[in-house]
Amino acid sequence: MGTVHGREAATSLLLVSVLALSLAGCGRLAARQLSGAAAPAPEDFSFVGEMSPCYLELYEGSKALRVNCFHIDGVLHIHSSRWAKLPRLRGENWTDRVRRDPNVRVQIANTIYSLKASPIDDERLRTAILHDRGYWYAWDGITVVRFL
């Protein structure tokens, strides 16, 4: 009997440890330095399609976060997760950072673009974009950002 309870306890401890380590990173596991050639931003980002992995650098020299880029009528966009506004153990969320300093760099494939992030605060537009992206509910925590 002691062996069964010991295995259950060990399994529970392992699961809790994995969850704690996952949450402690708060998305930082996908962060890395940008790499590639800098280029002027194109007039039309429709080559990105409905979803393309890209990296967002909040300030020069910081680690870039992996996000999903998409375009709307050729304009580059990203959005946060619905948990973006929850308190963090350390650091701040990228959505707060771009509100303070909108100058960012975005890497798509092997090209790096210097862009200006513009959070979409119009609730009707934000909701319409999220519904078009397949969200059945436009969670309050999701920030949609377009790049200029």
Clarify whether residues 112 and 71 are in a common domain: yes
pLDDT for residue 75: 97
Q: Is residue 16 scored above 50 in pLDDT? A: no
Mean pLDDT, the chain, integer: 84
Q: Is residue 43 scored above 70 in pLDDT? A: yes
Cross-strand partners of 144: 79
Clarify whether residues 19 and 59 are in a common domain: no
Clarify whether residues 15 and 52 are in a common domain: no
Clarify whether residues 93 and 141 are in a common domain: yes
Render pLDDT for 89-103 as a digit per residue (tens, 0 to 9): 777 789 999 999 999
Output the pTM of the full model: 0.77
Q: In the chain, how many domains are there?
A: 2
Q: Which residue type does 117 have?
A: A
Q: Which domain, by its residues, includes 125? A: 31-147
Clarify whether residues 109 and 138 are in a common domain: yes
% residues pLDDT > 70 (the chain): 80
Q: Is residue 56 scored above 90 in pLDDT? A: yes
pLDDT for residue 23: 39
pLDDT for residue 82: 83
Q: Is residue 20 scored above 60 in pLDDT? A: no
pLDDT for residue 4: 57
Clarify whether residues 57 and 8 are in a common domain: no
Using alpha carbons, select from 42, 22, 18, 17 the residue that is nearest to residue 113: 42
Clarify whether residues 11 and 75 are in a common domain: no
Alpha-helix residue ranges (DSSP H) falling in the chain: 2-25, 94-100, 123-132
The Cα–Cα gap between 144 and 142 comes to 6
